[in-house]
Amino acid sequence: MEPLVGRLRERSTLQAALDSPGVELVAVYGRRRIGKTYLVRQFYGARIAFELVGTHGASLREQLRAFARARASLLESRVDPAPPADWSQAFEELAADLERRRASGKQVLFFDELPWLASRRSGFLQAFQHFWNAWASKRRDLVVVVCGSAAAWMIQKLLRDRGGLHSRVTRRIRLAPFTLGETRDFLRSRRVELGDYQTLELYLCMGGIPHYLKEVRRGESASQAIDRICFSRDGLLRDELALVYSSLFEHSERHLEVVRALAKQPSGLTRTEIAAASRVASGGALSTLLEELEESGFLMRISGFGRTTKDAVFRLSDEYTLFYLRWIERHRGSAEGFWVTRRTSPAWRAWAGLAFEGVCLKHVRLIKRALGIEALETTESAWRHTARSPDDQGAQIDLVIDRKDATVNLCEMKFSEAEYVIDKRYAAELRAKRACFQRVTRTRKTVLLTMVTSYGVKRNDHSEELLASTVEMGALFGT
C-alpha cells in the first residue's frame, strides 16, 4: 500500500481509540471516493481482525455470504463456513469466534459501507445493536469501526439514534477532501510535481478527492490531466456525477435539482431562494435535503454578517460538481486537446475566479494565519446588500472576517496567472464596497480591505491607498 498522506487529525483520533482503556465505537463518514476505507485499512493494518464490506444493492443473502467469507478470514480457514440464516445468527457467531481468539492488544472490527449492509428490512441494525450492547460493550480489547459514504444516513441512523445505539459512538471522523497542502503532498508522494499554481488549477476542477487525484500522471501538465480525465471518452470523471449522487442519496434527483440551482449562483442562495429556484418546496423536506448535502460535503452554510442563522447562504462547495455542471456536461467527447485550448478563454477565467473564491472559503484558517490573526477569536461570514432605490448601490462581499479586536477584514479573492492589477475602475468598486458596508452595517470597527490572490497584487497608487494586506496563493498550501 502507498504511504498515508495527511489526515493528521484523523490519525490522532484512530490512535486514541487504540490507546484508550475501554471498548471504542468509531464512526467514519464522508462522501464517496474520499478515502475512508484506505485510511482505516492503512492505519490499523494487521490489527483488523474482521472486515465486512457492504455491497450497494446486494440482497440479504448476498450480504450474509459476504459475512461468511469475512468470517473465514478471521478463522484463517480456507473453506468458507455456511452463511448464517440472518444477522442475529451472524453476530452470535462473530462473538463466539472472538471469544476463542487470542490476541495481544486491541482488535479492530471493521464494518465498511454500513448503510448498504443495513438496508431496509435486513435486520442488520437491530442485530448490531444487540451485539454491541449485550457483548461488545463489555469488552476492553475492541475497537469497532463503522464506515459509510451516505453521511446523512450515518448521522440519522447512528449518531442521532434514539434506540439501542443512543450515545454509543465514542469517536467520530467526518472525512473531508484533501486541503491544497495535502493535495500537493499526495501528488508528490506519487512523484507528480506540478507547482502551486497548476496544483491549484487541478484543485479547482476536481477538488481534493484522492481517488480522482490518483488519475494524474507524472509528466502531464494540469491542463493535460484535466483534458484526459474529464473530457476523453474513457475519462474517469466524464460520467461520475450521477454515480456519486445516486450512491449517496435516495431520490438523488431532488438533491441534484438543488445542486443545479446553486451552480447557477456560485456566490450562494438563501434557503428561500433555493426553494424558489428549484422544484423542492420549502419545509422539512428541504431542510433535510440541505443537511444531507452539507454533511456529505457538497455545500457549505455561510452565515450572513450581523444576521441570524435563518438568513444563512448555502454555497455549492464541491469543486468537481461545479466543474462538471459548467464544463464537462456541455463538452463531453470533445476533440482531443479541448481543455488545453479552452483554459485560456475569458469564460474559463471568469469561472476560475468564482471557483477560487470557494477554495479560499475552505482555507480561511490559513488566510487568518497569513494575516497574523490565527489565534484571535473571529467570526467568518458573507455579506450582501441589494439596492433598494435608483440612488442606492448594492454590494457583495464573499468573506468578512469579524475580529474581537474591533477590526473587520473585507476579503476580495482574485485568481490570475500573474500579479493582480487594481485599475481605476476596480479601485472605485472597492471604495464603493467598503463605503456601502460601513453605511449599511453602521459598524464602528476599523474596516480593512484584504486581497487574496494567486501571485499577489502589483504595487501602484490604488493598491497603496486601498489595501491593508494581501495574501498570496502559497499561504493556502500551509498545514
Structure confidence by residue, pLDDT tens digits, 341-381: 888 888 898 899 999 999 999 999 999 999 999 999 999 99
The residue type of 121 is: R
Query: If you average pLDDT over residues 176-193, what whole number do you get?
Result: 95
Query: If you average pLDDT over residues 213-219, what whole number do you get?
Result: 96
Prediction pTM value: 0.90
Structure confidence by residue, pLDDT tens digits, 96-119: 999 988 878 899 999 999 999 998
Confidence check: pLDDT of 150 > 70 = yes
More confident call, 388 vs 408? 408
The pLDDT-based confidence of 41 (bands split at 50, 70, 90) is very high
Mean pLDDT of the chain: 91
* pLDDT value at residue 479: 72
Q: What percent of the chain has pLDDT over 70?
A: 98
Question: CATH assignment of 363-477?
Answer: 3.40.1350
Structure confidence by residue, pLDDT tens digits, 51-62: 999 998 899 999
* pLDDT value at residue 384: 87
Q: Which of 160-174, 282-296, 450-464 has the highest mean pLDDT?
A: 450-464
Supply 77's cell numbers.
480457514
The pLDDT-based confidence of 189 (bands split at 50, 70, 90) is very high
Query: If you average pLDDT over residues 395-419, what whole number do you get?
Result: 94
Q: Is CATH 3.40.50.300 the classification given to domain 8-174?
A: yes
Query: If you average pLDDT over residues 25-46, what whole number do you get?
Result: 93
Hey, where are the domains in the chain?
A: 8-174, 180-238+332-356, 242-321, 363-477
The pLDDT-based confidence of 94 (bands split at 50, 70, 90) is very high
In words, the CATH class of domain 242-321 is mainly alpha
* pLDDT value at residue 333: 66
Structure confidence by residue, pLDDT tens digits, 424-447: 999 999 999 999 999 999 999 999
